Structure 1
């Protein structure tokens, strides 16, 4: 018996495959893979003094165009981080009051540009510039403005700005032979308060007051212990009107900017939130409602749905952070010329700005 196998010719095999395809269902269509060329990413532009000057002027020009036209959307295109909600609230308040948005006249800026690796983001620089409100006499102030670029595909925006206290002196920021400043890291321990801890220290001092442990490293002032005293007075007035008031400062997720100053210190720019709740004492009285504070009237529609009003602020600051004393050194503490003890160096807030950006009146909670 012959057990040899017979093989099909290539032609017969092809015909059988074709017939099988015709006899059954149509084969499923296979997706076609389209190969496209990878998009080219723009080369990072190194941050130079010239770039900083150009971007500062670009912002000033575009911001003024937006303000002149009352164009909130255009204005928001040139800001980010804490500046975004503040600018939106500013335009909303101007519309609510029926006033034009403020316009500014700027002087010559001092630009503090750190040397950063061109492929490391974000890129940033700080400007210190005199400015005044157009049409308002004696309105000149010094603005500290931090600009940021998050990626090569993005454009520069204003992230933070604070106004120098008229009684404060801006610390000197040394520049190298080419005119560049030195950036600190957020974890730099050569200064008294590591920059990333500055918002938390500040918030603690605002919340706890002069008796706080934070008072050992940060000076009292209008926007530190002053905020604490303001809250205590406001809470007393609220109680007299059968109202309750809470107000809590917290850190924000916004960037922190830090530059080396002379004598080993630092200039730190940062932000805080401050959230307030005003309510009625008698929560079971469904008709009792707190009055709308005038400072947030533009953020509400004129009615209070429940028995509480929630308001949120963005507060922006610049603080001088002195050099950390060496081991065994108490800084400037010691006997002065008149024999009195000198206070050791502490961080000091020298510039601030900000305001309310959100107000809501949630429905009353079920008793």
Structure 2
């Protein structure tokens, strides 16, 4: 699995800083979850993680994105495929993949896809990164695939409530009794990043580096580019991927969801645009003349309380396609 960046600013700036709800997928109904069997045992989850680590590490050492479909599903697959392409162009191979101190959060579910989460770290010292891994199984007997892996800013998964047997409870995307239903988060977050924190429906999200501060940074980036003769438009929408949620202590929910960001850069004078930063490997440099369009996927992890506002606590962002004209 490749190392990543988490900036939401346009890649051509080369600076650090920064709708419809997708269909629910296998999140279960918390009202009946207590009688459902767990998606798999802890030992089986450990086996899934071990197998993924071995195969993903092998693919990473070769930067073989053709091997990723055997271990990942979208959105993770599209994002890591793009990262492999970037790394191959800049000739930067990832370090050996090792997950430390994994803790598994396995929901009691019925139907498919089945899923579970794992809290784990990679790296050491100041290079330590925390992962909120989410694996899914689409059908009986199907492979377990890494589907999402945002980077939490804190020990968010430690808030998950476990029953007497050590298993978690899924929360339905449309569940009531929360500050915001998990399934409404993608559209609300997309509207905030596109139109600002004053837009209708965005008050369910707390201010922070991945909400209001990101919107402010994007607007500042647009102004900076405008002074250079570059026009940028950026719009966010809910990506067509599942929303997954687990019950937390105190009656809240921990939620995984995905946004899509569409960016369009245009200039009247050739030579001002370039395929750079996060877009390297996605489009030929010579293809860009007066316009550059890109599609970005952003995974999020949010904590939703019973009352108040949801806090976004994790993210993984990657451009997955680019087209010059």
TM category, shorter = 0.7 to 0.9
Provide the C-alpha distance between the structure 2 equivalents of 1:252 and 1:225, rounded to a whole number of angstroms: 20
Tell me what 1:342 maps to. none
The number of residue pairs the alignment matches comes to 288
* SS of residue matched to 1:114: coil
Which deviations, in whole Å up to 9, do the C-alpha atoms of 1:32-65 show, x marking residues without a partner?
Answer: xxxxxxxxxxxxx962222222212211121112
Provide the C-alpha distance between the structure 1 equivalents of 2:96 and 2:262, rounded to a whole number of angstroms: 29
**Cα distance 1:298–1:70, how it changes in 2: closer, same or farther (>3 A)?**
closer
Structure 1 stretch displaced more, 186-195 or 268-277: 186-195
Tell me what 1:139 maps to. 127
Provide the C-alpha distance between the structure 2 equivalents of 1:302 and 1:81, rounded to a whole number of angstroms: 27
Matched, 1:311 2:294: yes
Matched, 1:294 2:276: yes
**Cα distance 1:92–1:242, how it changes in 2: closer, same or farther (>3 A)?**
same
Provide the TM-score with structure 2 as the length reference: 0.83
Tell me what 1:68 maps to. 61
Aligned-residue offset at 1:187: 0.8
* Conserved 8 A contact 2:206-2:309: yes
Aligned-residue offset at 1:211: 2.2
Structure 1 stretch displaced more, 303-312 or 248-257: 303-312
Tell me what 2:119 maps to. 128
Aligned-residue offset at 1:300: 1.8
**Cα distance 1:232–1:160, how it changes in 2: closer, same or farther (>3 A)?**
same
* Conserved 8 A contact 2:177-2:306: yes
Provide the C-alpha distance between the structure 1 equivalents of 2:241 and 2:46, rounded to a whole number of angstroms: 24
Tell me what 2:311 maps to. 348
Q: How does 1:1-367 map to 2 (within 5 A)?
A: 47-117=40-110, 120-132=111-123, 138-166=126-154, 170=157, 172-280=159-267, 282=268, 288=270, 290-295=272-277, 296-324=279-307, 345-362=308-325
Point out where structure 2 has 5 or more consecutive residues left out of the alignment: 1-37
Provide the C-alpha distance between the structure 1 equivalents of 2:262 and 2:143, rounded to a whole number of angstroms: 31
Provide the C-alpha distance between the structure 2 equivalents of 1:190 and 1:84, rounded to a whole number of angstroms: 33
Provide the C-alpha distance between the structure 2 equivalents of 1:288 and 1:122, rounded to a whole number of angstroms: 48
Aligned-residue offset at 1:105: 2.2
Choose 1 or 2 for highest CA Rg: 1
Answer 1 or 2: higher relative contact order, Cα 8 Å, separation at least 6.
2
Point out where structure 1 has 5 or more consecutive residues left out of the alignment: 1-44, 325-344, 363-367
* Conserved 8 A contact 1:49-1:180: no
* Conserved 8 A contact 1:290-1:308: no
Aligned-residue offset at 1:229: 1.2
